[in-house]
Chain A
Amino acid sequence: MIAPATPKTFKVRIKRQDGRDQPAYWQEFEVERRPSQNIIAVLQQIAANPVTTAGEQVEPVVWDSGCLEEVCGSCTMVINGHVRQSCSALVPDLLEDADDNTITVEPMTKFPVVRDLFVDRQRMFDNLVKVKAWVPIDGTHDLGEGPKESPEKQQERYAISRCMTCGCCLEACPQFTLDNDFLGAQAIAQAYYFNEHETGKKLKGERLEALAGPGGVADCGNAQNCVKVCPKEIPLTEAIAKAGRQLTVHAVKKFFTGK
């Protein structure tokens, strides 16, 4: 419920960029308040009528979105300085701790900007290839049931499997930058996830070798921002620690057995 004293409009400052490697600039829009309004709705309102507070008709803002239910991971943005999904970023909450009745919306900084708020997160998917994030099944033919699994193990794996590759953990990670090769919490957690599956284990050695290389799990500086910004509340730091343990054991074994 909007209190009667609440202004009918608010301002949105959007960091825009016309293309890759182009200079970024800010534009400000005045937007009408509506009930249950989130940042996506705000962007839709702007798209329908892209006129800045200065009265300038501009090109509509480009952004990435999908399900709008916080499961597809598309609409990650930096809103009021914090990375999050814009579909679940509600205007009243954002205005509550904002100055001047203004919300700022920026693209993620750890990925190259395609245009405006739309960034290229291909690196996250490439990292999944690096850690061989799949179960090496024999094929799609009917070979009966999969391996049994305890409910506890399922619960542990399920929590990690909810990762929607949104990139919040990487955006907030001080160790993950545009130009280094750190894998980050997402890929490390996925590597651990597959190491814990009975068939997925077959590639454990290869995954751990990938985690041992440059940008691997040892590069994690334990700032633990990832777990705090994860919209799916995935126990990322625990997954990283568990991957670290697997790697320690693996390295010791390898040292003594040579394989």
Chain B
Amino acid sequence: MADSPRVIVVGGGLAGLAASVRVAEAGLPVDLFSMVPVKRSHSVCAQGGINACNKVAAQQGYSEWQHMDETLYGGDFLNHQPPVYEMTHWAPKIINLLDRMGVPFNRTNEGERDLRLFGGSLFKRTHFAGASTGQQLLYGLDEQTRRYEAEGKVNKYEFWEFLWPIVDDSTGEKVCKGIVAQDMRTMEIRAFRADAVVMATGGNGLIYGKSTMSVICTGGAASRCYQAGAALGNPEMIQVHPTAIPGEDKCRLMSESARGEGGRVWVPRTKGDDRHPLDIPENERWYFLEEKYPDYGNLVPRDIATREIFWVCQDGMGIGGGNMVYLDITHLPQATKDKLAAILEIYEKFTGDDPREVPMKIFPAVHYSMGGVYTTYTPYDPDKDTYTPATQPKRKPGEGMLLGDPQNMTTDIAGLYAFGEANYAYHGATRLGANALLSCIFDGLFCGLSVANYARDPKGGKASGVADSVVDRFVEQEKHKVTKLTESHGSNNPYEIHRELGVEMTASATVVKTEERLLQARAKLNELRERYADLKITDTGLYTNQNVSFSRALGDMLIYAQAIIEGSIARKESRGSHYRDDFPDRIDEPFHATTKAWYDPSAEGSCRIEWEPIPLPLVPLRKRDYGAATAKKTDESKEPAAAK
């Protein structure tokens, strides 16, 4: 046992827990690191559901293939096809597994799993558990992890922060042999050797200041891997949700069903009109969506709504000149308001205003990072397939990934994997609703086996055999960073730098991007990095010092932010969530390619961009243009589900 291969999983969300369960099941001990108790990971926030072709939809003509097609189409073909093929074909199995784990999926009268309609499909293919599917799925996996923990197969390190991957390049190739981590309570910094490391560290919403993400979603861990030599893929691809409730501390989602049920979006016609919304007469309200899109009105597709709201506020027409517009449901009949009760209560709980009486104030907010750590995979090859029984037909080459192959979802550093939102693999340029939960769990379960297989035969020998000097170097590097931070008596408040970073990134690199604005952001980031070098830290103690943790992550956020900006500058086209006002069309040549961003301190924005072409083995490119009729239908189709 002492010399058994060990696997480290960083992050305890859906991807991390699924990976832990799968690796433990494969017989390898797992060390699971998380900044928070794993049950509190950001996956709990997902509300909608999880997609999978199911037996009812299958009888209506739906298929895993179509699920894949929708995902590729939604992602504007920036996603690799084999992984998406594999994921969508695994989806029904994943639902079954979660079902067996006891996740309380909503049920029909016959006791079957109930389904709802979701964006991007005309079939009911979304499974859900009340209004907190992410929470329920996470708990299902958390419970299984706890079971393995009780059996001694998973060892949790909660309240430990991942600081750096231990990268051994003594053989000429970068190979990950463990991590350096810090106990956020005692501030102890330690090295943990491992034969394989899985980064399941989620998104990076905090780079945008306020997003819909949890306070732990700094992207710091991904940034550290990036700085250690793993490339990022499509860092510029950030999903923005059109309607969120801006708060002092974060933005909270407001379901689109509010618009679906007849909610109207407006701002005062007069700039700077600071009257109470109910005092503004009808003819002095500007229903800008209805005016600009008389056909669809408030029901325009997500990206258009997002951009329009954004533009109105950029023009200074937002409420009080700020970044907010009204979403008004006060005029709706009581029955409709009752139907929306669940989401209206969320608004009331966090703002203190009753949306039945006073129009809601909303604004688009950063919601999901499609981009992330670059990962590769081995496409399915019938000759190498050792899992399909000889009696059964094998798939065609490229239909999926090769199960158990150590390459699946590995980064540019051998032995370092990236799963879930932390990687870039499945969603391309836009993520479809209810696909995120699927991709996270799929990564953990499918690629978990790859990790176990790799750990049994790691490159460069066993982690236990790595020279202490290699490992100690990283520990010293991290200790030095902490010392430097606690001895910072400069003049810049880290919270102020973070605030400015968020404002800058939100203004330049979310809904609408232009070359001019991006260049401005590039300069601003340089300025912020300079100021970061001269920090003022108020807590200099060495016990549960959140100031140090935050300031350290801030430095990493700044570097990741630069990659987002550089990627956005380089991609001179519009694709999916990436909308360049100066290049409003999709330009497949040369941009039907992955933005591969390498950390390079000598380059502009510390970032070197490469374009990696994307093969199209399964589905040819086609124009992403939800036909007008479809667009409307899709949007409506979401309503019954969301209003539940």
Contacts and interface: CB of A to CB of B under 8 A. Distances in A.
Touch test A–B (CB under 8 Å): yes
Nearest to B93: A142
B601 to A, nearest CB: 29
B625 interface: no
A68 interface: yes
B130 to A, nearest CB: 5
Given A41-B248, A90-B352, A137 B144 contact: yes
A71 B135 contact: yes
Interface in A1-50: 1, 18-19, 34-38, 40-41, 44, 47-50
Given A38-B248, A70-B349, A93-B352, A121 B100 contact: no
Given A71-B45, A73-B40, A60 B547 contact: yes
B628 to A, nearest CB: 34
Given A88-B349, A90-B352, A137 B216 contact: no
A221 B93 CA distance: 44
Interface stretch (A103-111, A161-169, A171-179, A246-254): A161-169
Contact of B544 (A41, A62, A73, A135): A62
A135 B100 contact: yes
Interface stretch (B108-116, B255-263, B388-396, B553-561): B108-116
A140 B445 CA distance: 8
Contacts, number: 201
A87 B350 CA distance: 8
A136 B147 contact: yes
A146 interface: yes
B37 A121 contact: yes
Interface string B96-112: 11111110111111111
B546 A60 contact: yes
Interface in B523-564: 538-541, 543-547
Contacts of A67: 40, 42, 44-45, 214-215
B248 A59 contact: no
B101 A36 contact: no
B130 A137 contact: no
A50 B547 CA distance: 12
Interface in B234-249: 246-249
B249 A71 contact: no
A173 B118 CA distance: 42
A60 B143 contact: no
Given A48-B496, A200-B102, A150 B135 contact: no
Interface stretch (A126-134, A211-219, A222-230, A235-243): A126-134
B150 interface: yes
Interface in B303-355: 346, 349-353
B585 to A, nearest CB: 37
Contacts of A199: 100, 102
11 contacts: A38-B247, A40-B249, A47-B546, A59-B541, A62-B546, A67-B42, A74-B40, A128-B146, A140-B21, A145-B100, A194-B102
Given A129-B146, A143-B100, A164-B44, 18 more contacts: A19-B543, A36-B248, A38-B248, A41-B249, A50-B538, A59-B539, A60-B546, A62-B544, A63-B546, A66-B42, A71-B132, A72-B41, A72-B42, A135-B101, A140-B22, A145-B113, A146-B96, A150-B107
Interface of B: 21-22, 25, 36-37, 39-42, 44-45, 93, 96-102, 104-114, 129-130, 132, 135-136, 139, 143-144, 146-147, 149-150, 185, 214-216, 246-250, 252, 276, 346, 349-353, 445, 493, 495-496, 538-541, 543-547
